[in-house]
Amino acid sequence: MTKPIYAIGDLHGQSAEFDRLLSLIDRDGGPEAQVVFLGDYTDRGPDSRGVLDRLIAGCAEGRDWIPLMGNHDRMFAWFLEDFPRHDPHLLVGYHWLHERLGGVETLASYGVVFEGQTRLEDLHAMALQAVPEDHRAFLQGLVLMHQTPDLAFVHAGIRPGIALDQQDENDLVWIRQEFLKHTAPHPKLIVHGHTPVDRVTHCGNRVNLDTGAGYGRPASAVVFEGRSCWEVTEKGRVSLA
């Protein structure tokens, strides 16, 4: 019998949603359940620190958790390097602290609040003082993909036509249109987040779990047994076709 594997979509600083979904998974599969987190733990929501605290604690306790890297987690990790690094995939004029991306809210969850005329070097120094070393190490250690015989879990998606073991990191955390428009089968069923949808969506070759926690909507969890899958809800499992 295939062991169930659970996945949780983008959380974006919503620690209450983390707790709610984990409670549902514990009820469905027990505390020993294997859970893949699809990335984007930080930014936009009010408690990025709390989400990371929960993830770090669960991994330290030996929970069977597999946290993947999202583009927002990478931007945060890059900001915390010795010299803050800018993500070149962003549109010209955008940066991690842009009002649309949520870095300001992430820093605020660590008690780092600043005025508009603050120099980046000063803010960077404040962040390094405020963000615990285990948070920095956790972000730097996130993996890009997790595979089972039937499934490939990633944050954003994959580039069609490229072998899974040859995928580019930028695509795995950032890709959208080339992946979303592709309707032919992939080597495995791709489980991803990154692009908000109104509800968990099974598109035949992929399953999208980003239901908009970054914009204040509920996050989502799904359980897989082979390629069969169900959304995990307060009313139990709901089949996804």
Using DSSP's 3-state secondary structure scheme, residue 63 falls into coil
Amino acid at position 30, single letter:
G
* pLDDT tens track for 104-150: 999 999 999 998 889 999 999 999 999 999 999 999 999 999 999 99
pLDDT score for 132: 98
Q: Indicate the pLDDT class of residue 202, thresholds 50, 70 and 90.
A: very high
State the pTM of this model: 0.96
pLDDT score for 164: 98
62 Rama sector, left if φ>0, alpha if ψ -120 to 50, beta otherwise: left
Distance (Å) of CA 137 to CA 52, 64, 75, 208? 11, 19, 14, 28
Domain of 157? 5-239
Measured CA to CA, the distance from residue 37 to residue 183 in angstroms comes to 25
Measured CA to CA, the distance from residue 163 to residue 172 in angstroms comes to 12
Pairing of strands 228-233, 206-208: unpaired
Q: Indicate the pLDDT class of residue 196, thresholds 50, 70 and 90.
A: very high
Across the chain, what does the average pLDDT equal? Answer: 97
By the 8 A CB rule, do 194 and 207 touch? no
pLDDT score for 241: 85
Q: For position 221, which CATH number holds?
A: 3.60.21.10
Q: How many of the other CB atoms lie within 10 Å of CB of 136?
A: 17
pLDDT exceeds 80 at position 1 = no
Average pLDDT over residues 74-84: 97
* pLDDT tens track for 13-35: 999 999 999 999 999 999 999 99
Measured CA to CA, the distance from residue 79 to residue 64 in angstroms comes to 29
Report which DSSP code applies to 101: T
**Residue 232 exposed, middle or buried by CB count within 10 Å (0-12, 13-18, 19+):** buried
pLDDT exceeds 90 at position 239 = yes
pLDDT score for 2: 76
Report which DSSP code applies to 151: E
pLDDT score for 181: 98
pLDDT score for 115: 87
pLDDT score for 238: 97
Measured CA to CA, the distance from residue 92 to residue 73 in angstroms comes to 20
Q: How many of the other CB atoms lie within 10 Å of CB of 18?
A: 24
Average pLDDT over residues 74-85: 97
Total domains in the fold of the chain: 1
